[in-house]
């Protein structure tokens, strides 16, 4: 059985205390870092300097989600800065295969993200070059949005491709993941779960991570 992975999103943490936030979720699997440029999405967050500082401050693997224009140019630098997984959007990329290969050459896993309205099937062949598929379960740009269950067929489709041996990758979901929604995402076939406010708004973020992992584990197909 696949073991679920929890990736708390620091978008919901106190930006003045990111190292402390990372320490509070030391039992997580990845630390999710949302990079937004105010162009691809209407929000501005953090960039390379913060990723470098986080890499020095925590042993958690950094899961960088680039919601930016021109990821072909910028994505490899996040791998060089210490990210363990660098994900960019197919909607913004000009040459996703070359960018994935550059990320891998720089020492990180390569991830491809799709927005809720983007179909999966046209990119199944491209995904052979990737280690992670990130299915957005909200519109990218802001935390705290409501989970969109209507995108779960894409998760199921990706899991079918993995089970058949056509793909080998993590299937990650991001957006609105909490105790009420994680089981549906897990049952559909996701194995990496990004959770922001469900973790960092809890009295004990570490315990929240464990509780989410337990819920996902119960719901995952045998």
* Domain count of the fold of the chain: 1
CB 133 within 8 A of CB 127: yes
> Which tokens go with 194?
């990004």
Query: What number of H helices and E strands is found in the chain?
Result: 8, 8
State phi, psi for 16 to the nearest 5 degrees.
-80, -10
Which CATH number fits the domain that encloses residue 184?
3.20.20.70
Predicted pLDDT at 1: 62
CB 190 within 8 A of CB 155: yes
Cα–Cα distance for residue pair 27/5, rounded to 1 Å: 10
**CA 182 – CA 34 distance, rounded (Å):** 20
Beta carbons of 108 and 66 less than 8 angstroms apart? no
DSSP 107: T
Positions marked active-site: 34, 174
In the prediction, which pLDDT does 49 show? 95
* Closest to 192 (Cα-Cα) out of 211, 165, 173: 173
Parallel, antiparallel, or unpaired for β 31-36 and 5-8? unpaired
What's residue 113's pLDDT? 98
Residue 152's domain comprises 5-219
Cβ atoms within 10 A of the Cβ of 21, count?
22
Say how far apart CA 83 and CA 60 lie, in whole Å: 10
Q: What is the pLDDT along the chain (222 residues), one digit of tens a residue?
A: 689 999 999 999 999 999 999 999 999 999 999 999 999 998 889 999 999 999 999 999 999 999 999 999 999 999 999 999 999 999 999 999 999 999 999 999 999 999 999 999 999 999 999 999 999 999 987 777 799 999 999 999 999 999 999 999 999 999 999 999 999 999 999 999 999 999 999 999 999 999 999 999 999 987
Q: Are 204 and 174 in contact (CB under 8 A)?
A: no
């Amino acid at each position: 059985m696949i073991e679920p992975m929890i990736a708390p999103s620091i978008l919901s943490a106190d930006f003045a205390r990111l190292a402390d936030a990372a320490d509070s979720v030391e039992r997580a699997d990845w630390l999710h870092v949302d990079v937004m440029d105010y162009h691809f999405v209407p929000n501005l967050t953090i960039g390379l300097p913060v990723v470098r500082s986080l890499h020095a401050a925590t042993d958690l693997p950094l899961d960088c989600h680039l919601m930016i224009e021109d990821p072909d140019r910028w994505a490899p630098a996040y791998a060089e800065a210490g990210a363990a997984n660098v994900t960019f959007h197919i909607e913004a990329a000009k040459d996703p295969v070359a960018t994935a290969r550059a990320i891998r050459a720089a020492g990180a896993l390569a991830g491809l993200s799709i927005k809720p309205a983007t179909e999966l099937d046209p990119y199944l062949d491209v995904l052979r070059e990737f280690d992670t598929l990130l299915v957005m379960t909200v519109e990218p740009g802001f935390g705290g949005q409501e989970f969109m269950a209507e995108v779960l067929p894409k998760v199921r489709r990706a899991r079918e491709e993995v089970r058949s041996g056509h793909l080998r990758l993590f299937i990650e979901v991001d957006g609105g993941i909490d105790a009420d929604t994680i089981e549906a995402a897990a049952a559909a076939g996701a194995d990496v779960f990004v959770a922001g406010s469900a973790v960092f708004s809890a009295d004990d973020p570490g315990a929240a991570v464990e509780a989410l992992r337990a819920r996902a584990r119960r719901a995952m197909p045998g």
